[in-house]
Amino acid sequence: NDNYTYVSGTILDEYVPVISVDKEILKPYTNESVSIGKNYYDYKGQEEDQKNAIIYHENTYLQNTGIDYVNKDVFDVVSILDGEVIEVAEKELLGKSVTIRHNNEIISVYQSLSETTVNKGDKVAAGQVIGKSGTCELNKDLGNHLHFELTINGSLQDPKNYIGKKLNEIN
């Protein structure tokens, strides 16, 4: 006489993309002529590197919270991993923006886009084009560029430290 309780429905309240730990974090672009225009501001970094990671806007100095990738020509912007688009917005200072949740620990943000090719709720694959580089008010001196931010475990990180690494190498 077995007493079992059977469960119907789901045990998760919210969809969370699952990514294999063998997946490598890609560059947010595919054009090899793209270069870094402004680095992430690392408060532990060298003074010269910190100087090159300061943004000056309307008489205010700001620390760069991501990396700005530049190229004279517009370039495709791609998702760094599989994930779900959680926001597509147009922001006054930052231009068009796409935010992707890759898992519970990793969120990537792509700003200063001239156009987007995804919508909120879309599932995206690593390497999928999500928009094109553009300009924005905040860093207009860079011209055509992509501002890219990476949040891991709720904290902004220098993307250079993660691009090319496998997910199982970052935790």
Residues 94-99, mean pLDDT to the nearest whole number: 92
pLDDT: which is higher, 101 or 1:
101
pTM, rounded to two decimals:
0.83
Q: Which pLDDT value is given to residue 11?
A: 44
Percentage of residues of the chain with pLDDT beyond 70: 83
Look-up of token digits 């006489």: 1
The overall average pLDDT reported for the chain is 85
pLDDT: which is higher, 98 or 94:
98
CB atoms within 10 A of CB 60: 7
CA 94, CA 1: separation in Å to the nearest integer? 65
Which helix or strand (DSSP H or E) is residue 96 part of? strand 95-101
**SS3 of 87, please?**
strand
CB atoms within 10 A of CB 24: 14
Residues 13-28, mean pLDDT to the nearest whole number: 70
Residues 14-31, mean pLDDT to the nearest whole number: 76
Residues 71-90, mean pLDDT to the nearest whole number: 96
Q: What is the pLDDT of residues 111-158, one digit of tens each?
A: 999 999 999 999 999 999 999 999 987 777 888 999 999 999 999 999
Q: Which pLDDT value is given to residue 59?
A: 74
Q: Which pLDDT value is given to residue 116?
A: 97
> Within 13 A of 59's CA, how many CA atoms are on the CB side?
0
Structure tokens at 3: 């007493």
Q: Which pLDDT value is given to residue 19?
A: 60
Q: What is the pLDDT of residues 34-69, one digit of tens each?
A: 999 888 877 777 777 777 766 776 677 667 788 999
